[in-house]
Amino acid sequence: MALLLNSATEPEPTLAYYAEAVLRHLENKLSGVACEHCLRFVGTVEVQIGHKLHSLVEQLRGAQEGGQGGGEEGSESGGSVDLEGALEAGERLEQIYSHVSPERIQALLSRSESLPLSDRFPLPQPLPCRRRCGALYCGATCEEAAWEHSHCLLCTGGAADASAASGAGPSTSGQGAGTSSDASGADGSGPSSSQPVPAPAAAGAGPSTPATAAAAAEEELYGIRVDRRALAAFVDHAAATNEIFLLAAKVVAATMLAAARALAAAAPGSEAAGADDAGAAASGSGSAGGAARSALLAAWRPFQHGWKKCWWDAVAVPEDVEDEEEFRGQLRSLASDSLELLAAALRDPRFGPEVLQLEVYGSIVGMFELNNLGLGVSTPVEDYFLALDEMGEGPEREAAMAVTQPLLDALDAEYATGAEATAFMALQSCINHSCDPNCTAACEGPDATVSVVAQRPIAAGTEITLSYIDVSLPYKARQAELADYGFVCRCERCAAEAAAARARRGGAGGKGLRVGGGGRRR
């Protein structure tokens, strides 16, 4: 599919959109505390720096322990102990502790240490998810938006707090069983294992339900049965295999929820009507079945352009794989295991049989293979250190540097790592590549809103293009990069450069110019 412009535009007009589904990379959560919904950083500069250092230390300790026999990765010598990695981790830990003490890291995290000039970088206070699953948001608007999008179905926290933002759905019915101690949501929200979450008091005005509140293992929302314990098993599997399953779950949940809401709205005021619809739809008979199908198709609309190939068929086969069929079979079976866990967590006789089947699930995961968009939001920690660096020479700068330089030295390159996520966006994800693109896409604000900006006048009917790669690269290098995306670029620029290369070699046939083609790289 190609995206064409409806009406001509001058340079610079911008289209800004928010993702249909976004997932912060699980590992990236170690680099900063950000809103689960929009990726805006929250808390204070001190908390952000403390979080980075704390996470680094935890990670390095893990690597050290792995090296001492606890790791699963085999070393070059064939054993299960990565001594070299453990040594490197130990050296880096020593380097960190030569600049900051564990007590200082704790002081930053608990906000008992204030850094000079940090008040010039105010951040929104984190608001915890109403069910205390561990997810944090930059405010009630994002908490509500995430909840309404899909988090109400995917949250693994305790019973919803009525005093928090509204919208738990008309038929929520807690049944009092305990919930998993794993606080991560099935949409990838919540802290990573080593993410310190600010205490509610420090987090600002959040809902007051304690994390240990009686939790509902099973409940019903808009006629969809949710088993929160089964969700926890789904999360564990995704975290151990492929985090994209968490993003796929968001698409599944958002679709089922939107369809269920549409049905509920069509039969106002009656929970029983929803249940009756469910029964009729399940039997596939009568107008209720038709209504369920129409509701499902409407709910699917935001994702319809991403719908192409199953994951196991779409994936580029890594170079070191010898048996392609076996490789694709393994991916299929991984997706099947993941779906089985998700289907045990979300049950709905109206939509389940259509949505929770392997080809559909595989295509949703495949959509993120073919149409995913990498998002990045820069960290205020980088801005903070840049501002200190740019202070005029003098005693104020010297005093500030004396306090902050050890932190920068301890963080090293990590100071600049921002929030990184993958997303599906109905518009941006469907824009093809050109090595001379007429638009650029960027996440320039404090959150994950992506803008597509025209770079030159574009006539109506012209295809909108972006570059997936660094366009300053020479022809061969560009084509090599694009081989990862599974195509050979034949844009005007590439055609002209290829023709020029052929002419330089003195023949119009172009024999010997080998680009892209079979050798996909990973």
Ligand X SMILES: C[S@@+](CC[C@H](N)C(=O)[O-])C[C@H]1O[C@@H](n2cnc3c(N)ncnc32)[C@H](O)[C@@H]1O
Q: How far is the CB of 516 from ligand X (least distance, A)?
A: 10
Closest CA to 39 of 444, 466, 468: 444
What is d(CA 25, CA 418) in angstroms, rounded to the nearest whole number? 11
Closer of 210 and 518 to ligand X (Cβ): 518
Closer of 13 and 487 to ligand X (Cβ): 487
Q: How far is the CB of 463 from ligand X (least distance, A)?
A: 9
Angle between helices 395-411 and 380-389 (to 10 degrees): 140
Closer of 403 and 469 to ligand X (Cβ): 469
Count CA atoms within 13 Å of residue 344 on its CB side.
Answer: 14
Instruction: Decide if 442 contacts 450 (C-beta within 8 A).
Output: yes
Q: How far is the CB of 322 from ligand X (least distance, A)?
A: 24
Dihedral, 360, 361, 367, 368 alpha carbons, nearest 10: 180
Q: How far is the CB of 369 from ligand X (least distance, A)?
A: 9
- Contacting residues toward ligand X, per CB under 6 A: 1, 370-371, 429-430, 432-433, 485-487, 489, 491
For residue 137, the SS3 value is strand
Closer of 113 and 484 to ligand X (Cβ): 484
Instruction: Decide if 443 contacts 46 (C-beta within 8 A).
Output: no
Closest CA to 502 of 491, 515, 487, 516: 515
Q: How far is the CB of 387 from ligand X (least distance, A)?
A: 36
What is d(CA 342, CA 307) in angstroms, rounded to the nearest whole number? 20
What is d(CA 146, CA 139) in angstroms, rounded to the nearest whole number? 11
Give the largest CA-CA distance in the chain: 80
What is d(CA 337, CA 353) in angstroms, rounded to the nearest whole number? 17
Strand ranges in 179-262 using DSSP code E only, listed in sequence order: 218-221, 224-227
What is d(CA 60, CA 88) in angstroms, rounded to the nearest whole number? 9
Closer of 262 and 370 to ligand X (Cβ): 370
Closer of 202 and 430 to ligand X (Cβ): 430
Q: How far is the CB of 113 from ligand X (least distance, A)?
A: 45
Closer of 225 and 493 to ligand X (Cβ): 493
CB atoms near residue 188 (< 10 Å): 27
Q: How far is the CB of 439 from ligand X (least distance, A)?
A: 13
Q: What is the amino acid identity at position 236?
A: D
Residues forming beta bridges with residue 465, ordered by sequence position: 432
Closest CA to 128 of 142, 108, 107, 110: 142
The string of DSSP codes covering 226-289 is EEHHHHHHHHHHHHHH-THHHHHHHHHHHHHHHHHHHHHHHSTT-HHHHHHHHHHHHHT-HHHH
Q: What is the amino acid identity at position 80?
A: S
Q: How far is the CB of 450 from ligand X (least distance, A)?
A: 13
Closer of 432 and 451 to ligand X (Cβ): 432
Closer of 136 and 248 to ligand X (Cβ): 248
What is d(CA 238, CA 520) in angstroms, rounded to the nearest whole number? 26
Q: How far is the CB of 464 from ligand X (least distance, A)?
A: 11
Closer of 55 and 465 to ligand X (Cβ): 465
Closer of 490 and 514 to ligand X (Cβ): 490
Q: How far is the CB of 314 from ligand X (least distance, A)?
A: 9
Q: How far is the CB of 431 from ligand X (least distance, A)?
A: 6
Give the DSSP letter of residue 65: H
Backbone angles phi, psi at 220, to 5 degrees: -130, 130
CB atoms near residue 343 (< 10 Å): 20
Instruction: Decide if 199 contacts 132 (C-beta within 8 A).
Output: no
Q: How far is the CB of 481 from ligand X (least distance, A)?
A: 12
Closer of 18 and 485 to ligand X (Cβ): 485
Taking the alpha carbons at both ends of the chain, their separation in whole angstroms is 24
Closer of 332 and 493 to ligand X (Cβ): 493
How far from 4 is each of 9, 20, 102, CA to CA, in Å? Answer: 12, 20, 55
Name the token pair of 99.
């600049």
How far from 289 is each of 272, 276, 296, 518, CA to CA, in Å? Answer: 16, 11, 11, 46
What is d(CA 52, CA 414) in angstroms, rounded to the nearest whole number? 8
Q: How far is the CB of 3 from ligand X (least distance, A)?
A: 8
Closer of 245 and 303 to ligand X (Cβ): 303
